[in-house]
Amino acid sequence: MSIHTPKKDRKITLSTIARMKGTEPITMVTAYDALFAQLFDGEVEMILVGDSLNMSFFGKEDTLSATMDQMIYHTQAVCNGAKKACIVFDMPFGSYTTPETALANAVRVYRETCAQAVKIEGGEEKAEIIKVLSDSGIAVVAHIGLMPQHVRSEGGYKVRGKDVADIERLIEDALALEAAGAAIILVEGVKGEAADLVTKAVKVPTIGIGAGNSTDGQVLVWSDMFGFFEAFKPKFVKQYCNGAKEIREGLEQYVQEVKSRRFPDDTHSY
């Protein structure tokens, strides 16, 4: 197996990502602002401006009320901070209900942000939309499996790929989306065995979240993986640091020092 390690000191393109399939695992995290995008840039190959920001940043219960204007604003911020990572814009709920709406909104993304691709949730039924976008020169990441934008219609977040029929459905979805022009298939909340079969079925890279360890890459939501989002922790999230604890400790110290007039001291005064 040849290892294709992209140089992270220059802009990573979708062609670079395509070449990584079956070689080196692709790393992706979410970011919603310039500060964190800058921290992640040069470390991961891809940054997703996910509509998960509606929950972790805006405090809502699900992703459904995120708007195009909000997503554009946050993507512009991420573009200001990240100059090398391949940036993906998550199309919010309601922004791609018809091919015409999807095209108008995706054109806006390319015009107003530096995102290299847009992400759309849905299976085979979204193939026509993906074809229209890719035929128009807009790269698409197709998101299959557990789709957070379907949380209300499905009555919750449900793990997929638990039986043969559903595994076949996922493979059919992935093949239809690839044939329609999807550049990447993102697979969320799927049994590892199913994600493995999807990954083997398509030629484009797959990126998994809660989908086991055989997809071509992995994505995590930054506020989950760094321990800032405390409302709930899905089983698939590994917490790489305890951000909320660190912040609370720092804040507590600051409050104590201000109250006791230990801050600011001479070294922090003009």
* Rounded Cα distance, 32 and 50, in Å: 8
Distance of closest approach, residue 49 Cβ to ligand KIV, in angstroms:
8
Comparing CB distances to ligand KIV, the nearer of 132 and 218 is: 218
CB of 3 to ligand KIV, least distance (A): 25
Q: Nearest to residue 114, comparing CAs of 136, 87, 140?
A: 87
CB closer to ligand KIV out of 165 and 231: 231
Closest chain position to ligand KIV (CB): 50
Chain residues in the site for ligand KIV (CB under 6 A): 30, 48, 50-52, 90, 186, 188, 209, 219, 221
Beta carbon nearer to ligand KIV, 142 or 180: 142
State the nearest-atom distance from the C-beta of 119 to ligand KIV, in Å. 7
CA of 240: how far to CAs of 29, 132, 186, 224, 226, in Å?
A: 13, 39, 22, 9, 5
What does the alpha-carbon distance between residue 60 and residue 144 come to, in Å, rounded to a whole number? 23
Between 41 and 51, name the residue whose CB sits nearer to ligand KIV: 51
- Residues classed as catalytic: 188
Report the nearest approach of ligand KIV to the CB of residue 101 (Å). 19
In angstroms, the CA 194 to CA 208 distance is 11
CB 50 to ligand KIV: min, Å: 2
Query: Distance (Å, rounded) from C-alpha 90 to C-alpha 86?
Result: 13
The whole-angstrom separation of Cα 59 and Cα 91 is 19
In the complex with ligand KIV, the residue whose CB is nearer, 202 or 225, is 225
DSSP 49-117: E-TTHHHHTT--SSSTT--HHHHHHHHHHHHHH-SSSEEEEEPPTTSSSSHHHHHHHHHHHHHHS--SE
CB 86 within 8 A of CB 45: yes
